[in-house]
Amino acid sequence: MLLYALKRAALAVPFVLAAATLVFLLLETAPGSPTDHLLGDRPVPPEIRERLERAYGLDRGPLERYGAWLGSLARGDLGWSHSRARPVARLLAEALPATLLLTGTALLVQALVGVVAGVLGAATRGRWIDRGLTAGGLLLCSMPVFWIGLVSILVFAYLLPLAPSSGMRTPGLTDASALGRAADVLRHLALPAAVLGLTSAAALSRFVRASMVEALGQGFVRAARARGIAERRVLLRHALRNGLGAVLGLTALSLPVLVSGSLVVEVVFSWPGMGRLSYEAIQAKDVAVVLATTLLSATLVAGGSLGADVALAALDPRVRLARTRYAP
């Protein structure tokens, strides 16, 4: 198992570097320059512009700058943010916990809602509950995440003021206890995590329903019913357990969707995570920050895919043997 995991991890390294390279090329072809963002509309002498470009290494060619970034990365240095005048590593250290909290909570919402809705749809297939869940899932899948976020802010933050509309903490809340501050973060987390998790749960529920319906037609389920086992136990202990490995793998593979969706959700809800940091860095054409957030996001995605592969291989040894034998 350890050898299999190491091989899968080695295959993820080129993917992470390719993602960072592609983002660098896209930023190079984008209009504008970091110097324009730093100077704004103020007229400055050409020597000032040249001094700024020399200070941030912008006077070198793209290949030279990319090679310098790779060299710094090999030494563990993520560079300097010219738009915030701070080390990139410190910015990531501040933004990463917020993104992990949002993505982890959304993953939990997705797993719980997706599995429950899928099991309920399979148990009531063909009836109005199943049709309602199917229609709701298709509706969520067809709507953009940013639009769902804006509508949820309108409904749950303004019309029904049940949750804050933006941010991670209430400004000026310094005299509260540790429990009060944690409750305040949870209040701010509820709406963005629900939006991000429910949009992903819609697809998971359809997969769970399909696998449950297929399992309910198998011979071992009919045999369990013939022995007089209760229907609830048949659903949970036999049908759901049969497809639990695939559900676990699909949940882990949904991490790329959650990571990419968190960028939009963080911007809509002003959540201080990597998505919002990356969005502001793109506007400022802060290449060092964008490359670092891309590298970290790609690592999270590769880690989720690796976790799914290892989990599936642990649950089904045939997967491990087949992939080890035929992997390039």
pLDDT tens readout for residues 174-221: 666 778 888 888 999 999 999 999 888 888 888 888 888 777 777 777
Strand partners, 86: 81
pLDDT tens readout for residues 243-300: 676 677 677 667 777 777 788 899 999 999 888 888 888 888 888 888 888 888 888 7
Measuring CA to CA, how many Å separate 225 from each of 68, 220, 245? Answer: 66, 9, 23
Q: What is the reported pLDDT for 152?
A: 92
Measuring CA to CA, how many Å separate 328 from each of 173, 205, 280? Answer: 55, 33, 39
Q: How far apart are CA 34 and CA 297, in angstroms?
A: 23
DSSP code of residue 286: -
- Which string of DSSP letters, residue by residue, matches 137-180? HHHHHHS-HHHHHHHHHIIIIIIS--S-SS-SS-TT--SS-HHH
What is the residue extent of each domain of the chain? 88-326
When pLDDT is cut at 50, 70 and 90, the band that residue 169 belongs to is confident
Range 88-326: architecture per CATH: Orthogonal Bundle (1.10)
User: 321 vs 3, which has greater pLDDT?
Assistant: 3
pTM of the complete model? 0.81
Instruction: Tell me if 59 sits within 8 A of 53, measured CB to CB.
Output: yes
The helix or strand, by DSSP H or E, that contains position 59, with its residue range, turns out to be none
- Give Cβ neighbours of residue 17 (< 8 Å, ≥ 6 apart): none
Measuring CA to CA, how many Å separate 135 from each of 124, 146, 196? Answer: 14, 20, 19
pLDDT tens readout for residues 141-158: 888 888 999 999 999 988
Q: How far apart are CA 102 and CA 193, in angstroms?
A: 6
When pLDDT is cut at 50, 70 and 90, the band that residue 325 belongs to is very low
What is the token pair recorded at 173? Answer: 């809340």
Q: Is the pLDDT of residue 103 over 50?
A: yes
Instruction: Tell me if 309 sits within 8 A of 316, measured CB to CB.
Output: no
